[in-house]
Amino acid sequence: MAWYAKPRGGYNLYSVEAITNIFNYRSEFSTWSLESVCGMLGNVQAESGFNPWRWQGDRYGTGRGYGLFQFTPASGYIYLSGATPNLSVDSITTGATPEDAVRQIQAFRTNELGKWVSSCWRSYWSTTTYADLYAYRSQVLARWGSGNSISIAEFSEVTDIYDAAFIFLACFEGPQYPNINVRNQNAANVYTILTGDPPPTPPEPPTPPPPEPPSGDFDINKFLIYTQRKTKKKVRRFYNE
């Protein structure tokens, strides 16, 4: 299918143009997990509205962001061999093609511009202000990464859309403010478009088993009363002495 592009603005998520570009995108990443693609596209929606010709803030400037992924500065991408960018926000310039999207995808997938930050965090994100997000980062790296980092290849195998949305946000996009909730919702919407179903609900964390009681004659009735009242009496009081 042909790609859609326009000089300014993004596409509404449920427009023909956006949905066509989403399926084109999925085709380009056919060997990647569905979830990693959805997480990535949740970020693409936030960055460019699925418009390959999108300029940051709808203002032209080689120091600004450009394209599906908002390559910044744009000068790093638009002069690459094979790139066919649109160099205006008011008209279509000579040589520009919507299929520039494919070249952008290639530049991302091969990390041609060295934009992937494998540490999955940004130095300008305060670990105090975003303490919960930083703790989540540790969990994500433990699930999908290698030690304290994650590669594009490892990202391509992620099977949780929300983990994928965070990884792409932290490793590639790196906005000033990590607005993860918006990107999570975008990723969930893209999942529904691609599959026809809502994304699976993340499983509840397992409830840890109660501690093993000390040896002795255990009084279950006393223990249940204690549990219901949530007092702070010692376990030894539940034993007949």
- Which of 153, 168, 158 has its CA nearest to residue 109? 153
Q: Are residues 180 and 215 in the same domain?
A: no
Count the domains in the chain.
2
- Which of 184, 167, 140, 158 has its CA nearest to residue 45? 184
Q: Are residues 233 and 116 in the same domain?
A: no
Q: Is residue 139 part of a domain?
A: yes
Name the amino acid, one letter, at 73.
Answer: P
Q: Are residues 68 and 42 in the same domain?
A: yes
Q: Is residue 3 part of a domain?
A: no
* Unique residue bearing structure tokens 């991408």: 77
- Report the pLDDT value the prediction gives residue 237, as an integer from 0 to 100: 47
- Report the pLDDT value the prediction gives residue 173, as an integer from 0 to 100: 96
With contact defined as beta carbons under 8 Å apart, do 21 and 4 qualify? yes
Phi first, then psi, for residue 55 (nearest 5°) are -100, 140
Q: Are residues 226 and 151 in the same domain?
A: no
- Report the pLDDT value the prediction gives residue 236, as an integer from 0 to 100: 46
- Report the pLDDT value the prediction gives residue 200, as an integer from 0 to 100: 82
Q: How many residues does the chain have?
A: 241
Count CA atoms closer than 13 A to 121's CA, side-chain side: 20
Q: Is residue 26 part of a domain?
A: yes
With contact defined as beta carbons under 8 Å apart, do 39 and 159 qualify? no
pTM: 0.82
The boundaries of the domain holding residue 157 are 16-195
- Report the pLDDT value the prediction gives residue 214, as an integer from 0 to 100: 52
- Report the pLDDT value the prediction gives residue 238, as an integer from 0 to 100: 42
**Beta-carbon contacts of residue 56 (< 8 Å; ≥ 6 apart):** 64, 65, 66, 70, 72, 74
Q: Are residues 161 and 225 in the same domain?
A: no
CATH of the domain at 183: 1.10.530.10
Model pLDDT for residues 203-219, shown as the tens digit of each residue: 554 455 555 555 555 56
- Report the pLDDT value the prediction gives residue 131, as an integer from 0 to 100: 96
With contact defined as beta carbons under 8 Å apart, do 182 and 58 qualify? no
Q: Are residues 80 and 144 in the same domain?
A: yes
Low-confidence ranges of the chain (pLDDT < 70): 202-241
- Measured CA to CA in angstroms, residue 202 lies from 47, 115, 136, 198, 205 at distances of 25, 30, 14, 12, 9
